[in-house]
Amino acid sequence: MFHLQRIASLDLPELAPYRTLKLAHEHRERGFFVAEGDKVVHRLLASGLEVVSVLLPEHRLAEYEPALLARRENVLVFSATEKRILEDLVGFELFQGVLAVAKVPIEPKLTALFEKTKSWRLFVAADGLTNAENVGVLARNCLAFGAQALIVSETTASPYLRRAVRNSMGTIFQLPIIESKKIASHLAELKRLGVRCIAAHAHTDQSLLDEADFRRDCCVVFGSEGSGVSPAVLAACDEAVAIPMPPEVDSLNVASAAAVFLYEANRQRKLK
């Protein structure tokens, strides 16, 4: 169900999340996030997450009405006759003109996620990824290749930042996310559960991707494109693995590297 309110004033308290889109970190601290774009908002409305409000041009309401009526909570829908009014509110040009605010879900327990899956388990961890767009694409890769969860370090951009949500194409609404204060501790917990932790490392002589064994439960750890996995997190891993590349190529974008690693992990699993 939903309650429609046409925007008469941009100063309404309920519009604060849309007025402060540049304060995404503050949004996360307050327990909510902003979704942007048609496909992402549609996927949010189809998810089990709690939706607080939707912002859209009045002529788009009929398109969203079925999904809004299907919601259990009462979603506050703000509409305006002109997209310009919405752009004045958010402070930038809107390509599709649709945004939504939702609550960040309760964080799952790592052991519960492990026990939930009885077959091969695949976890992904991110250490020091400060680019929110890369985190969003990484989340998309995680869901595409069947990861049980994405664990992000405190030095990694939150997957619930607006740019991360947008680049994930809404996949974070289905992917369990753990925002870790001490990612090395979470890796140690996985190792106690029998999960092998493998660091993706552009410059290692330990082993190459085609030599690594992903057939048992594993967690693949990705670091920043600049400095890679931090020394402390690298020390917490069982092995460092590199993608074989010609010497003139320094490294891959982290999202591309993740797709290669996770594809190889799935390929080996099917051969098991």
User: What tokens were used for 82?
Assistant: 């002109």
Q: What is the mean pLDDT of the chain?
A: 93
- Alpha-carbon span 52 to 30, nearest angstrom: 13
- Alpha-carbon span 78 to 56, nearest angstrom: 6
User: What tokens were used for 163?
Assistant: 């740019």
**Which CATH number is 2-103 given?**
3.30.1330.30
Q: Say what the pLDDT of residue 271 is.
A: 65
**Which alpha helices (DSSP H) does 57-161 contain, by range?**
61-69, 83-90, 110-116, 132-144
pLDDT exceeding 70 applies to what percent of the chain?
Answer: 98
Residue pair 133/167 in contact (Cβ under 8 Å)? The answer is yes
Task: Return residue ranges of the chain for CATH 3.40.1280.10.
Answer: 110-271
Give me the torsion for CA of 207, 210, 213, 214, rounded to 10°. Answer: 120
Q: Which pLDDT tens digit goes with each residue over 66-112? A: 999 999 999 999 999 888 889 899 888 777 789 999 999 999 999 99
CA distances from 112 to 187, 233, 243 (A): 15, 23, 32
β-pairing, 149-152 vs 218-223, is unpaired
Q: Which CATH architecture has domain 110-271?
A: 3-Layer(aba) Sandwich (3.40)
Q: Cα–chain-centroid distance for residue 169?
A: 9
Task: Return residue ranges of the chain for CATH 3.30.1330.30.
Answer: 2-103
Q: Which pLDDT tens digit goes with each residue over 226-265? A: 788 999 999 999 999 999 888 888 778 899 999 999 999 9
